[in-house]
Amino acid sequence: MSLRRKTQNCRLVLGVAKDSAEMAALRKQARQLGDNTAASADDAAGAQIIIAKAGGDVDAIQAATPVTLNMALANRRTMEENAALLMGMKSAFQLSNDKVAHIGDVLSMTMNKTAADFDGMSDALTYAAPVAKNAGVSIEETAAMVGALHDAKITGSMAGTGSRAVLSRLQAPTGKAWDALKELGVKTSDSKGNTRPVFTILKEMQASFEKNRLGTAQQAEYMKTIFGEEASSAAAVLMTAASTGKLDKLTAAFKASDGKTAELVNIMQDNLGGDFKEFQSAYEAVGTDLFDQQEGALRKLTQTATKVCVKTRRLDPEKQITGVNHRPHCRWCTGADCCHRCHWPRSLAGYHWHQCHHRGSRRNGGNLHDGWQCCYDGHRGD
């Protein structure tokens, strides 16, 4: 039932018809992922909703759902967090749906090959990605920069703002920054006015420092002039990483990362916990099959029961109790004087009692206690 509700929620977000080909495809995908992965069909349907809310159409949902599930299994973060990061990077770098799996693998490899954790990487890429795209820097190169900064203990938003400052300053240097780069003999654009590769510029800056035998104080002054005081530390780390080949190695590893997330999941699931999760997924699939087979009959039964309840609520209270169109009479009262509102019997001192509400008086004499009389033949309360 949960799978059905989530599928309906996804349909509402997308604004497509219940029996449309799009919804049939999404239901089929959720069931297949539940049958063939450690995630359940319910998990898959939940991921589809998240991706739809992030702006994904049906094609994007089909591309991103299995990636989101694998990422969540690999990094143990929620589907919401993984879907948001995945779709955010897809949008920032303007990549097509067929690149979504690669994006997920790059993100997984960044966390696996560097000191970046999920939160730090997510924050850093959120700041750096838009500027990187405008500067012609790929997602792999951006991830390499973020990873190198995390290795140097410049993490999270600091890594993001540092990367962004380096990219923006080298993309369009002005004023004193342009003069400083000219003094170092470093060009940031080619003869056609296009920005040269960032890693190449950083390597040439480091080479110029060494060639001119600049001291640490002089180097620091150049760095502050070119990148600004706040970003100078990040720029120094990236310059060293570029000159040693670290950025190139990370970039190459990220470009060749296809399938790495699935490998990580297989390794992490190769234990009793993973076996149990697969069992849970299979068990839920059986329940879903049974529910699908009986859904029509169950809906009809539920609707019929609802109609009966609604009809019963419209009856008088005593009709709801007796099911017939009359009121019970008190055996001690005549019909003329009794208001016919005798309550349910109670047990008192071994006898069953009921209370009669008369029009101003209690009939039949006897020793009554607060209007209670015994219901047994020949007995009254003493």
Mind listing the pLDDT tens digit of every residue in the chain (382 residues)? 467 788 888 888 898 888 899 988 998 998 888 888 777 888 888 889 999 998 899 999 999 999 999 999 999 998 889 999 999 999 999 999 999 999 999 999 999 999 999 999 999 999 999 999 999 999 999 999 999 999 999 999 999 999 999 999 999 898 999 999 999 999 999 888 888 999 999 999 999 999 999 999 999 999 999 999 999 999 999 999 999 999 999 999 999 999 999 999 988 775 546 553 554 555 455 554 544 545 566 667 777 888 777 777 666 555 555 544 444 444 444 444 444 444 444 444 444 444 454 444 444 444 444 444 444 444 444 4
| Residue 172 resides in a domain | yes
The tally of domains found in the chain comes to 2
The number of residues in the chain equals 382
In the three-class reduction of DSSP (H, G, I as helix; E, B as strand; rest coil), residue 372 is classed as strand
**Do residues 215 and 351 share a domain?**
no
Can you give the C-alpha Rg of the chain in angstroms? 37
Which residues, in sequence order, are bridge partners of residue 332? none
| Residue 179 resides in a domain | yes
| Residue 195 resides in a domain | yes
What angle is formed at CA 79 by the lines to CA 75 and CA 83, rounded to 5 degrees? Answer: 100
| Residue 365 resides in a domain | yes
Last residue of one domain, picked from the residues 251, 270, 287: 251
| Residue 263 resides in a domain | no
Q: Which residues of 47-72 are buried (b: 16+ CB within 10 A; e: fewer)?
A: bbbbbbbbebebebbbbbbbbbbbbb
Last residue of one domain, picked from the residues 200, 234, 251: 251
| Residue 52 resides in a domain | no
Domain coverage including residue 369: 324-382
The label of the residue with tokens 């609707």 reads 303
The single-letter code of the amino acid at 45 is: A
**Do residues 233 and 331 share a domain?**
no
**Do residues 353 and 211 share a domain?**
no
Q: Would you say 170 and 132 are in contact if contact means Cβ atoms under 8 Å apart?
A: no
**Do residues 137 and 231 share a domain?**
yes
Q: Would you say 208 and 184 are in contact if contact means Cβ atoms under 8 Å apart?
A: yes
**Do residues 100 and 245 share a domain?**
yes
Last residue of one domain, picked from the residues 251, 268, 293: 251
pLDDT at 278: 55
Q: Would you say 37 and 79 are in contact if contact means Cβ atoms under 8 Å apart?
A: no
Closest-CA residue to 70 (of 256, 268, 255, 252): 268
Q: Which long-range contacts (CB under 8 A, 24 or more apart) does 52-56 make?
A: 52/10, 52/13, 52/14, 53/13, 54/83, 54/84, 54/87, 54/88, 55/87, 55/91, 56/87
pLDDT at 172: 87
Rounded to whole angstroms, how far apart are CA atoms 76 and 111? 12
